[in-house]
């Protein structure tokens, strides 16, 4: 009998708020995903030098700037993105799910599932 080990999907959390980033990593782990986190765009760039992921939860406002450049780069790499932001009205013209902070865990789970089903 062959044993098949199913690899967990990896989700990267990019958020400059440490407590929220750690909360999301813990929540994603409890939902059965492998999760890692970085605090900003520079760390995001470094992350892809040594690792990869299946999806990114990207804070839209990092360090007082929007993450549009990072969003465009991730989309060009073919990595699905879900935007998380305290100001969902500030996100326009972006073709991906947007979750307004705070959001229920079930909304996060649904967005992840829908993102991978497309």
pLDDT reported for residue 99 = 96
Statement: residue 73 has pLDDT above 90:
yes
| Residues sharing a CB contact under 8 Å with residue 71, sequence separation 6 or more, in sequence order | 58, 81, 83, 94, 96
* Strand order, beta sheet including 81-85: 34-38, 10-14, 55-59, 81-85, 98-100
Asked if the model's pLDDT at residue 5 lies above 80, the reply is: no
User: What is the domain partition of the chain in residue ranges?
Assistant: 10-117
What is d(CA 6, CA 78) in angstroms, rounded to the nearest whole number?
A: 22
CATH topology of domain 10-117: Rossmann fold (3.40.50)
pTM: 0.92
Supply the pLDDT for residue 36.
96
Select the more confidently predicted residue: 1 or 79. 79
Q: Which residues contact 81 (CB under 8 A, 6 or more apart)?
A: 55, 56, 57, 58, 71, 74, 75, 96
Please name the residues in contact with 42: beta carbons below 8 A apart, sequence gap of 6 or more: none
Is 80 exceeded by the pLDDT of residue 109?
yes
């Amino acid at each position: 009998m062959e044993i098949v080990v199913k690899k967990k999907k990896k989700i990267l959390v990019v958020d400059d708020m440490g407590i929220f980033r750690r909360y999301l990593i813990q929540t994603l782990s409890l939902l059965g995903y492998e999760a890692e986190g970085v605090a900003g765009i520079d760390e995001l760039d470094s992350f892809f030098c040594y690792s990869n992921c299946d999806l990114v939860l990207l804070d839209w406002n990092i360090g007082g700037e929007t993450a549009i450049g990072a969003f465009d780069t991730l989309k060009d790499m073919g990595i699905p993105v879900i935007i998380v932001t305290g100001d969902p009205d500030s996100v326009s013209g972006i073709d991906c799910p947007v979750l307004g902070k705070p959001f229920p865990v079930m909304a996060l789970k649904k967005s992840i599932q829908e993102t991978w089903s497309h």
